[in-house]
Amino acid sequence: MAQNGHHEHPRYMLIFLYLAILTAIEVGIAIPEYSIIIKAILLIGLACGKAILVAAYFMHLKFEKGILATIVITPFLICVFLVIMLMPDLTIDTRLNAIEKPAAEVVDTTPH
């Protein structure tokens, strides 16, 4: 914060560059065949980093008083906690076995 009470303007293009780099990393993680749990943890971490950058600079929370940041951080942490707690249900492969596969076409071989 500057001495006259005004804050410096964030370097929006630099923040945009960071967000673009994080997005490229996310795409790089999503394409190869990793373990789904490792992929989910990495993608959640990167998404949290991007959300923090957007909230801090584009929503100007970095320059607000602490109470406003606390009001924003609390639901964010609850959301991250909820996603992490639901990961076992979302990543198990046994739920995929319950999906019914389409039946093969039955060919009538009886003479008419």
pTM over 0.85: no
Number of compact structural domains in the chain: 1
Domain that holds residue 75: 12-90
Question: How would you class 28 by CB atoms within 10 Å of its CB: exposed for 0-12, middle for 13-18, buried for 19 or more?
Answer: exposed
> Is 36 inside a domain boundary?
yes
CA dist., res. 47 & res. 44, Å (int): 5
> Is 112 inside a domain boundary?
no
**Residue whose tokens read 């009538």:** 108
Residues in the chain: 112
> Is 102 inside a domain boundary?
no
**Side chain identity at residue 61, one-letter code:** L
Would you state the pLDDT for residue 65? 76
Per-residue pLDDT tens over the stretch 45-80: 999 899 888 888 888 777 777 787 788 788 888 988
> Is 80 inside a domain boundary?
yes
Helix (H, G, I), strand (E, B) or coil at 108: coil
